[in-house]
């Protein structure tokens, strides 16, 4: 009987190249939120893939960027922490553009790390093959291989899993087989709401949006859970945009989020959602911790 393997795989890349989409596909469950807005992922989140041969703990990191708030400092510390605890590293970019300064910064940051490293060029389903990107990555002599993938359709995902398994050592099963993420249920719910806000709102609002879960309550004698949540924003003008004319935007966010929350909890959900202004929440350490922006 072959030995059981386990280990930690960190996924790095600039914002919006498909890190969270890739991990969701590989785990088979939506544990990471996705949008085309910068700073969609703010925390270092672990997602768990388990089969008969191995348990792979994926660590999704915030896209590397420059910021000027305590939230940005927290996001950078999450990236640094993820780079310290990995057994295998996955670097991901996409077919759309040639390597930019952000890509090159990440590659140089991991160059000297003495662990197996692989590069992925994502979104092959959306864009024409960009051979220049692949050649440039290969010429940098950092990665064992460069693979073109689609994190949406699953193209070449099997090759990634095979590479990871080949480079993991024998180890224990850290989490139960049905375990998907290390984050508590309330945190995943807040992230699902934030995702729908990111997808619904104008470009100038999402960076300053956070979601606080006030209460999760199961109704007695009913197959129903009440979720009370607050969307935080930094300006009164943003509050108006989030609510929308006649409450249309907030209603849309709530309806979309409720569908995913019901799928997560396996029961009907009544989502109570409202909006509050808190000008400096991104620089308020106490509030950041309450929102889940802390190490677990």
Determine if residue 122 is labeled as part of a ligand binding site: yes
Q: Is 18 annotated as a binding residue?
A: yes
The verdict on whether residue 80 carries a ligand-binding annotation is no
Q: Which residue has the tokens 């910068």?
A: 38
**Interacting residues of 96 by C-beta distance below 8 A, sequence separation 6+:** 123, 126, 127, 130
Q: Is 292 within any annotated ligand binding site?
A: no
251 is in an annotated binding site: no
Q: Is 16 annotated for ligand binding?
A: yes
Answer yes or no: is 247 a known binding residue.
Answer: no
Distances, alpha carbon 225 to alpha carbons 195, 254, 260, 262, in Å: 20, 15, 13, 9
* Ligand-binding site membership of 226 (annotated): no
Question: Is there a binding annotation on residue 61?
Answer: yes
Fill in the DSSP letter of residue 95. Answer: S
Any binding-site annotation on 17?
Answer: yes
Helix boundaries (H) for 144-247: 157-166, 185-200, 236-243
13 appears as a binding residue in the annotation:
yes
Strand order in the sheet with 210-218: 210-218, 224-233, 268-277
Any binding-site annotation on 15?
Answer: yes
SS3 state at 61: coil
Is 62 annotated for ligand binding?
yes
* Burial category of 289 from C-beta neighbours within 10 Å (exposed 0-12, middle 13-18, buried 19 and up): exposed
Tell me whether residue 98 is annotated as binding: no
Binding residues for GTP: 13-20, 60-64, 122-125
Binding residues: 13-20, 60-64, 122-125
């Amino acid at each position: 009987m072959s030995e059981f393997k386990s280990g930690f795989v960190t996924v790095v890349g600039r914002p919006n190249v498909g890190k969270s989409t890739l991990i969701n596909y590989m785990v088979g469950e939506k544990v990471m939120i996705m949008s085309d807005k910068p700073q969609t992922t703010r925390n270092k989140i672990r997602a768990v893939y388990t089969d008969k041969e191995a348990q792979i703990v994926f660590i999704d990191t915030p896209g590397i960027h420059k910021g000027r708030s305590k939230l940005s400092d927290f996001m950078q510390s999450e990236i640094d922490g993820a780079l310290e605890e990995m057994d295998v590293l996955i670097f991901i970019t996409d077919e759309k553009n040639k390597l930019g300064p952000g890509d090159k910064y990440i590659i140089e940051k991991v160059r000297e790390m003495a662990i197996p490293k692989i590069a992925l060029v994502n979104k092959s389903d959306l864009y024409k093959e960009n051979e220049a990107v692949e050649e440039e990555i290969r010429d940098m002599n950092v990665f064992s291989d460069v693979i073109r993938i689609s994190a949406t359709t699953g193209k070449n995902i099997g090759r990634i899993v095979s590479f990871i398994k080949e480079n993991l050592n024998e180890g224990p099963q850290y989490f139960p087989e049905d375990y998907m993420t290390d984050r508590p249920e309330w945190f995943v719910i807040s992230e699902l709401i934030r995702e729908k806000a990111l997808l619904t709102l104008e470009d100038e609002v999402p960076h300053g949006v956070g979601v606080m879960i006030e209460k999760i309550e199961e109704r007695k004698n009913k197959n129903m859970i009440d979720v009370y949540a607050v969307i935080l924003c930094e300006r009164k003008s943003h509050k108006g945009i989030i609510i929308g004319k006649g409450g249309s935007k907030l209603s849309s966010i709530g309806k979309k989020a409720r569908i995913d929350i019901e799928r997560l909890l396996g029961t009907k959900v009544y989502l109570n959602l409202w909006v509050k202004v808190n000008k400096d929440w991104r620089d308020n350490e106490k509030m950041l911790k309450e929102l889940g922006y802390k190490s677990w």
